Amino acid sequence: MQHYQFHIGDYTAATAHLSPMEDLAYRRLLDLYYSNEAPIPLDVKAVARRVRLDIEPVQQVLTEFFQESPEGYRHHRCDDELQAIYARSESARKSVEKRWERQKATNQIPNDTNVSDTYQERITTDIPIDTTHYPLPITQGKPKTNGAKAPRFDVAAIELPDCIPRSTWESWIAYRRSRKLTCAEATIKAQVANLEAWHQAGHDPPKIIADSISNGWQGLFEPKQAGGTNGKQSRFDALAQCADELTGRNRRDDPRTFDGYATQVG
């Protein structure tokens, strides 16, 4: 056995009076009991050598916590725990056999398949077959796939159209990584597609990339058309035009009337 339950509260209450060496002897004797799934041998000298301790603390613990019997020094709590583990293992075995019979009745399993072989291979039940009396990891018993993994996306080696120089693209990727921006495959391919589309619309992809880097932008954006985005005057341009009109920068010969007075602005 490679695992057993250890109740800290019960152990502490029962061993608070032990010396450090006696406490160590008790723990190692418990490990030996569960590991062998059998009583401690009656040869105390050999047992002390087995647990790497002096005979005196080992003999003291055996006398106080174990019962001498023809089979060896027995411990009632250990025996109870072992019986419970055996019962769970037997219950799992019966569950395997029942499921086997159901699958065989519905022709899910060939008639010439050996139930004991399937039991050992753990392929007929979702209940772990506990041959070592401790729970198995959830991944144990599942078949391993030998299929090759999909190659990892290499953002620097992506295929680029002729309108995007490789050196410019490498500068853009280095900038994104320095800003800790995503270089996911879907995002990067979308940016390449946008640059190619903007190139066909008459824009220069290297300049778009350079503008994004110099302005500290997180993405790539289509340049504005004359007069603003998509031919519409931007708010900034509208305010600038209004200021020019108020100050007379565009038409100094145009007198304006403010507060009822005709005056030449500027």
| Model pLDDT for residues 198-245, shown as the tens digit of each residue | 999 999 999 999 998 988 888 899 887 654 445 455 566 666 666 766
pLDDT of 263 strictly over 90? no
When comparing pLDDT for 25 and 259, which is higher?
25
pLDDT of 193 strictly over 50? yes
Per-residue pLDDT, 154: 82
pLDDT of 264 strictly over 90? no
220 contacts: CB under 8 Å, gap ≥ 6: 172, 191, 194, 195, 208, 209, 212
Map tokens 């600038």 to a residue: 240
Per-residue pLDDT, 94: 75
Helix axes 185-200, 205-215, angle to 10 degrees: 120
Per-residue pLDDT, 31: 92
Per-residue pLDDT, 144: 58
Give the mean pLDDT of 144-170: 79
**pLDDT tier, 107 (very low <50, low <70, confident <90, very high otherwise):** low
pLDDT of 101 strictly over 80? no
Report how far residue 25's alpha carbon sits from residue 23's, in angstroms, rounded to the nearest whole number.
5
Give the domain ranges of the chain.
8-74, 155-223, 231-263
Percent of the chain scoring above 90 in pLDDT: 30
Give the mean pLDDT of 232-259: 58
When comparing pLDDT for 65 and 184, which is higher?
65
Give the mean pLDDT of 165-179: 88
Per-residue pLDDT, 149: 67
Per-residue pLDDT, 90: 75
pLDDT of 135 strictly over 50? no
Report how far residue 147's alpha carbon sits from residue 142's, in angstroms, rounded to the nearest whole number.
15
Maximum pairwise Cα distance, the chain: 126
Mean pLDDT of the chain: 77
